[in-house]
A = this chain, B = another copy of it.
Amino acid sequence: MKEKLIWQGSAQLAPVPAVLVGCGDGTRRNPYNLITIGWCGMVCSEPPMLGIGVRPERFSFGLIRRTNEFTVNLPSKALAETVDYCGVVSGKALDKFKERNLTALPGEKVKAPMVAECPITLECRVKQTLELGSHWYFIADILAVRVDPDLVDEKGKLDMEKADLISYAHGHYYEQGPCLGHFGYSIRKKK
């Protein structure tokens, strides 16, 4: 094996999710908005919690700070260009839902908007906020999950492959590739 290069620390974790975060409550002070977030991860299973990292200069930052709620919408590959758009354009002066022909639906547990075109939405309420540096990290309870019924079979089992989810790595968006195995397959194989 060749000796590894040594670089200074940088944000090289990959792949990461590329999700559309819905925020605002539909009032004039806090209009609905969307922001694409790559710094997003599960932090706890029970209770189910996730976190998102947001720069304070983003328009969505104030919306989340004031409402303490957001939705995490998992986009399918058909929405990849919209995902990119919502990450590079500010919602301060325009309505991204309108610009991208997306449908904002109210959440069941939160006032933040769900993106109806996304196959899966997690409704989240902020529990803890960490001021870290370029980003503040919002840790939130996942209060409800909204699922496209087409992803669920007659036994109620979720087939997430049908969602055609995307990921982000080193400045590029990617489709999900072929399945390599299921959790525990290395052990079952040996038996």
Contact = CB atoms under 8 A, between A and B. Distances in A.
Interface of A: 1-17, 19, 38-51, 53, 72, 74, 77, 80-82, 84-85, 87-89, 103, 105, 108, 114, 116-117, 120-123, 128, 130, 132-135, 137, 139, 141-150, 152, 158, 160-161, 163, 165-167, 169-187, 189
A108 B43 contact: no
6 nearest interchain CB pairs? A41-B41, A175-B177, A177-B177, A9-B142, A160-B170, A46-B134
Contacts of A176: 15, 167, 169, 174, 177
A11 B130 CA distance: 21
A8 B16 CA distance: 24
Given A4-B121, A38-B42, A45-B135, 18 more contacts: A4-B146, A5-B148, A8-B144, A10-B145, A11-B48, A12-B122, A13-B17, A13-B74, A14-B120, A39-B45, A43-B132, A43-B135, A44-B53, A87-B183, A89-B187, A172-B182, A174-B180, A177-B177
A127 to B, nearest CB: 9
Contacts of A9: 47-48, 122-123, 141-145
A46 to B, nearest CB: 4
Contact of A172 (B74, B80, B169, B181): B181
A11 B45 contact: yes
A69 to B, nearest CB: 13
Nearest to A147: B5
